[in-house]
Homo-oligomer: A and B are copies of this chain.
């Protein structure tokens, strides 16, 4: 983004700013004495708002209560939640709340209380929403227009989780446009546009105007499928747009979260190009995004190049919390400005840019900030922008005095008007409440805090300048997630996943796929004692999407090579164990660098060898990198002896040391990550490794050889012995020179390994240790008050992501009470929207399962499930390959096989529970304890789940797959595992033995002086 500091460098800035301040002061005088209803303390809403301004805890609870409120269908549920949300608030409570809490305690009053609260919240909603029905909306619009304001109408909606829902949403707009056409006849044009119904507002603007979110028109938007997503949105948008053109209406493409920005711009440009003659199409741009400067410049250039005038609704942006959280959670650069002043300054900069291009661009300035408004007015004047090339927009219900003063002074004011039932509109309502109660909200500062005019009108660029402190960059340190490490390494941070919203990342992935395709069909030797070792026998590794396609030929280890590998590991052990822990860690860091440099290619191999989708494959590589980086740091921490409690004259230290030869037997479903995790843990702790990859992913496994060779790991420390048969694995497990076995895979195989390894033979010098991650039968509980907009996609991704082939996958969903029907219906609709096809093509949500054996097993389970219960839903699947249709089973009881046995495929059993407690019981009632999830907005139920949902990894209000190293140490117990936690602070200990060294440091009764300090 070019940061042109227009108007400042040429000395004109001071004059301009003075004019802006003067105009702002003038506007402020026009407002004097008025307050928006939200800030009027004599009104109910104003009192609640006032209280939440002063009490952050109450504000949080209130917002959460408002959020859950629509899901509270009974008065009992309502009074329960009221108690849970506010029952333990410390300090004084506002009067209405005190009253409500009192009422909630009397059971007789519950229905009455419910009515009062519903009424109050609806009141609150009506503040911002013009009507819950089209009829009521038309009435409000008439009133608005009669008051002299234009409008842009937006339909509030629940999140679109399926194509059916997207279709329905589009249908609502069609109805709305029809109704608007009907109503338009009664609306005279606004000032300057003549009186007849054909006349345009202000002489140029259509009276009918709608705003629309692209994400509501397609449920399968995936950044990696950029072109496909744009096209899918357009498919539904075109008919609406044509209908609107017929009605001579205007449309604005709303800008949503950053993830959709590219797609929204893509949709806008495509539509603009397809209908070049129709100019009333605009797009919202958000000033708080760091990208927006470049985006606006790009759009203006595009407009000029193609001769297509554009309309830009310039807003500040309403997803700030969300963007910050999402970026921080993914380790991406934060896309928004983090200082309010930066956004305000950007707004002025961008407004100026658009106003200066008034020949091709029309500006709708969406802001309630008087300084920003004054800036737009003065910038327009300076740029000689004609008055028919810009307007102001404010939100309905938000800042009536601002709207009035704009109407008085400027005239061209459009209200952004959401309509629709309050319940699905809650998300919007919460966002508005948030905006109004944010610390830096201009309205709050102006109307509630009474900030003085000088401060309100100060040039935001000034504040930005001040904040540009060279020391500010060190703040980065503070945001490190991990505790400060003992070494010089920077704190651990997760490898950010590929961000496919970025074109360059999509391009790199495509190129990597092409590169890998050129390498297919090669032969891969074993790797023993630092050298390649070919064998005669080879096996083909094939593409699950096309089993006739050979990815490569892999040499097969026999007993003799297994012996060689163990001998190599054994003889390397003594030196490796004695190698300094930091040095060992440094090899991991080098290997991490290798993987990072090749992360697109490594992901591409997974797409082809095991059928992982782009994002899933990228996440696997990122996790492999995480393991290396995390365990390297953990070893730095554990590598130095730790002082234990020691009285004077005595020094007690604890330390850890390697056990010997570790055999690593890896699965195919996280072919790089889990292999890398087990191998790197064994290596960094000082063990030497014999690694047997899964026969389905030996080539991905082979890349670990490259990574460690590249890191110059000493010969013999890491040995690679692929083999198709179980025989080699058993031989390794039984070998008397093996001290540790790390395994991840099925429970059957795991239990067999545990049993075999426990037999200590003559000549063995150690009891073998098994580190073992096994299967799961993971459940998600959908509570009655769950947010289905989040629960449905959460279950979907948990159950069907990578075809359900994760040990963490959800295979049971337990639905509490009355929400069952609506949940299952939305879930089925969502499942139906998932397309199956080769993972190479990002258009497909799902791909093939691992191999033919897996397919047969899963299909037979579906048959069993259909007998035990019934198939509620089955999707479509391409014929003749390893595809299994997405399947949802209903009427499943806890005793059924499909509720007890791990299926490891895209099959989900739905179960009912009358109460949350029953759901917990059912969730716990298997032999497994790996992952689990709960969607609930009841604090009590969440607490009960924390306590009693007994699984290794429990997730509250999110999907249950995708545990991240460091943040969600992963692993289960019961028959899911031995209680180890991969990617956690205790994991490395399993690969070592603890030692304690006690030294008597007294000599002839004499100890160093410091030891005797404070002897009392």
Q: A residues touching B (Cβ–Cβ < 8 Å)? A: 56, 59-60, 63-64, 67, 257, 319, 321-322, 324-325, 328-329, 334, 338, 426-427, 430-431, 434, 439, 472, 475-476, 478-479, 481-483, 492, 578, 641, 644-650, 652-654, 657, 659, 751, 754-755, 757-760, 764-767, 769, 772, 787, 927, 929, 937, 942, 946-948, 950-958, 963, 966-971, 973-975, 978-979, 981, 984, 986, 989, 992-1000, 1002-1012, 1014-1016
* Sample (26) of A-B pairs whose CB atoms are under 8 Å apart: A63-B1006, A64-B1003, A321-B1002, A321-B1005, A322-B1002, A328-B649, A338-B1015, A427-B1004, A475-B1014, A479-B1015, A479-B1016, A483-B645, A578-B948, A646-B967, A647-B967, A654-B984, A755-B758, A758-B759, A765-B975, A767-B975, A767-B978, A769-B978, A956-B999, A958-B998, A968-B996, A969-B994
CA separation between A652 and B946, bound complex, in Å?
Answer: 11
| Known A-B contacts A968-B652, A1004-B67, A1015-B338; A997 and B325 likewise in contact (beta carbons under 8 Å) | no
Check if A481 sits within 8 Å of B646, measured CB to CB.
Answer: yes
Q: Which of B478, B644, B969, B971 is A1014 in contact with, Cβ under 8 Å?
A: B478
On whether the beta carbons of B1002 and A325 are closer than 8 Å, the reply is yes
Smallest CB separation, A744 vs chain B (Å): 15
Chain B residue with Cβ nearest A480: B645
Closest chain B residue to A751 by CB distance?
B760
Q: Which residue of B lies closest to A652 (CB)?
A: B967
* B757 and A1000 form a contact (CB under 8 A): no
CA distance A248 to B321 in the complex (A): 99
Q: Are A329 and B766 touching (Cβ within 8 A)?
A: no
Instruction: Note all chain B residues with C-beta closer than 8 A to A478.
Output: 1014
Which residue of B56, B998, B1004 is within 8 Å of A956 (Cβ)?
A: B998
Distance between Cα atoms of A979 and B957 in the complex (Å):
38
In this complex, what residue of B is CB-closest to A992? B979
Query: 8 closest pairs, A vs B, by CB?
Result: A758-B758, A322-B1005, A481-B645, A325-B649, A973-B993, A958-B1000, A956-B999, A328-B647
Closest-CB distance, A986 to chain B (whole angstroms): 7
Chain B, Cβ-Cβ closest to A1009: B56
> What are the residues of chain B within 8 A of A650 when measuring CB–CB?
329, 967
Point out the residues of chain B lying under 8 angstroms from A325, CB to CB: 647-649, 1002, 1005, 1007, 1011-1012
Task: Known A-B contacts: A63-B1003, A324-B1015, A758-B758. Give 6 more (CB < 8 A).
Answer: A321-B1006, A322-B1006, A481-B645, A644-B984, A647-B967, A951-B995
Cβ-closest chain B residue relative to A660: B974
Q: Which B residues are CB-close (under 8 A) to A755?
A: 758-760
Q: Which of B64, B434, B645, B993 contacts A979 (CB 8 A)?
A: B993
Pair A927/B324 contact, Cβ less than 8 Å? no
Could you tell me if A475 and B1016 are in contact, using CB atoms closer than 8 angstroms? Answer: yes
Residues of B within 8 A of A950 (CB): 657, 995
A475 CB contacts on chain B under 8 angstroms: 1014, 1016
The 8 Å CB contact of A996, one of B649, B772, B942, B981, is B981
User: CB distance A966 to B998 under 8 Å?
Assistant: no
- Inside 8 A of A963's CB, which chain B residues have their CB? 996, 998
**Inter-chain contacts of A787 with B (CB < 8 A):** 1003
Residues of B within 8 Å of A654, CB to CB, are 969, 981, 984
CA distance in complex: A759, B765 (Å)? 22
A444, chain B: closest CB distance, angstroms? 13
Contacts of A439 in B (CB 8 A): 1009
A71 to chain B, nearest CB (A): 12
Q: How long is the Cα–Cα vector from A647 to B975 in the complex, in angstroms?
A: 31
- By beta carbon, the residue of chain B nearest A655 is B946
- In the complex, which residues of chain B have a beta carbon less than 8 angstroms from the beta carbon of A653? 946
Beta-carbon contact of A1008 and B430 below 8 Å: no
* Residues on B with beta carbons closer than 8 Å to the beta carbon of A769: 978-979
Task: List the B side residues contacting A659 at CB < 8 Å.
Answer: 973
CB distance from A391 to the nearest CB of B (A): 28
Q: Are A430 and B1003 in contact (CB under 8 A)?
A: yes
What is the bound-complex CA distance between A996 and B969, given in angstroms?
7
Q: Nearest B residue to A649 by beta-carbon distance?
A: B325
Q: Is the CB of A1008 within 8 A of B751?
A: no
Contact A644/B969 with A765-B927, A974-B766, A1002-B325 known, Cβ cut-off 8 Å? yes
Residue of B nearest to A427 (CB): B1004
Indicate if the CB atoms of A956 and B1000 lie closer than 8 Å: yes
Residues of chain B within 8 A of A958, CB atoms compared: 998-1000
How far is B996's CA from A958's CA once the two chains are assembled, in angstroms?
14
Alpha-carbon gap, A994 to B950, bound state (A): 10
> Which residues of chain B are near A64, meaning CB under 8 Å?
1003
Query: Does A998 contact B954, Cβ atoms closer than 8 Å?
Result: yes
Q: Which residues of B contact A1015 (CB under 8 A)?
A: 324, 328, 334, 338, 479
Residue from the list B338, B927, B946, B999 in contact with A942, Cβ < 8 A? B999
Whose C-beta in chain B lies nearest to the C-beta of A763? B927
Known contacts A324-B648, A328-B648, A654-B984: does B1005 contact A431 (CB below 8 Å)?
Answer: yes
Q: Find chain B residues with CB under 8 A from A969 CB.
A: 644, 654, 994, 996
Among residues of B, the one whose C-beta sits closest to the C-beta of A956 is B999
Is the pair A321, B1007 in contact by a Cβ cutoff of 8 Å?
yes
**Which residues of B are found within 8 Å of A973, using beta-carbon distances?**
659, 766, 993-994
Q: How many Å from the CB of A556 to the closest CB on chain B? A: 29
Contacts of A1003 in B (CB 8 A): 63-64, 67, 430, 787, 937
Closest residue of chain B to A794, judged by CB? B1000
Q: Which residues of B contact A60 (CB under 8 A)?
A: 1008-1009
CA gap between A956 and B64 in the complex, in Å: 61
Chain B proximity of A506: nearest CB distance (Å): 25
B residues in contact with A937, CB < 8 Å: 1003
Q: In the complex, which residues of chain B have a beta carbon less than 8 angstroms from the beta carbon of A989?
A: 986
Instruction: Report how far A800 CA is from B48 CA in the complex, Å.
Output: 79
Asked if residues B975 and A984 are in contact (CB atoms below 8 Å), the reply is no
Q: How far is the CB of A757 from chain B (nearest CB, A)?
A: 7
Bound-state CA distance A765–B657 (Å) is 33
Bound complex: CA of A1008 vs CA of B659, how far in Å? 46
Q: Which of B257, B767, B954, B1004 contacts A997 (CB 8 A)?
A: B954
Which B residues are CB-close (under 8 A) to A951? 995
> Which residues of the other chain, B, contact A1014 by a CB distance below 8 angstroms?
475, 478-479
C-alpha spacing A648/B478, complex, angstroms? 13
Tell whether, in the assembled complex, residue A472 and residue B328 are in contact, meaning their CB atoms are under 8 Å apart. Answer: no
- Nearest-Cβ distance from residue A732 to partner chain B, whole angstroms: 17
Question: In whole angstroms, what is the CA distance A645 to B759 when docked?
Answer: 39
User: Which chain B residues lie closer than 8 Å to A952 at the CB level?
Assistant: 993-996
In the bound assembly, the distance between CA atoms of A947 and B648 in angstroms comes to 23
Question: What residue of chain B has the Cβ atom nearest to residue A756's Cβ?
Answer: B758
Output the least CB separation between A734 and chain B (Å). Answer: 13
- In the bound complex, do residue B56 and residue A1008 qualify as a contact, i.e. CB atoms below 8 Å apart? yes
| Shortest beta-carbon distance from A899 to chain B in Å | 15
- The complex places the Cα of A410 from the Cα of B334 at a distance, in Å, of 88
Residues of chain B contacted by A997 (CB below 8 angstroms): 946, 954-956
The distance from the CB of A887 to the nearest CB of chain B, in whole angstroms, is 27
Q: A227–B963 Cα gap in the complex (Å)? A: 69
* Closest-CB distance, A883 to chain B (whole angstroms): 32
Alpha-carbon separation in the docked complex, A664 to B894 (Å):
34
CA distance A978 to B1010 in the complex (A): 37
Taking CB atoms, residues of chain B closer than 8 Å to A1008 are 56, 60
How far, in whole Å, are A950 and B334 apart by their CA atoms in the complex? 50
Pick from B648, B979, B998: contact of A953, CB below 8 A. Answer: B998
Chain B residues with Cβ below 8 Å from A757 are 758
Q: How far is the CB of A52 from chain B (nearest CB, A)?
A: 12
A192 to chain B, nearest CB (A): 39
**Shortest Cβ distance from A574 into B: residue:** B948
Nearest-neighbour CB distance to chain B for A188, whole angstroms, equals: 39
Complex CA gap A1003/B978 in Å reads 35
Distance, CA A427 to CA B975, complexed state (A): 62
Q: Which residue of B lies closest to A933 (CB)?
A: B998
In the complex, the answer to whether B1016 meets A472 with C-beta atoms within 8 Å is: yes
A1006: chain B residues within 8 A (beta carbon): 63, 67, 321-322, 430-431, 434
Measured between beta carbons, the chain B residues less than 8 angstroms from A1016 are 334, 338, 472, 475-476, 479
Residues of chain B contacted by A957 (CB below 8 angstroms): 999-1000
Q: Which residues of B contact A427 (CB under 8 A)?
A: 1004
Q: Which residue of B lies closest to A63 (CB)?
A: B1006
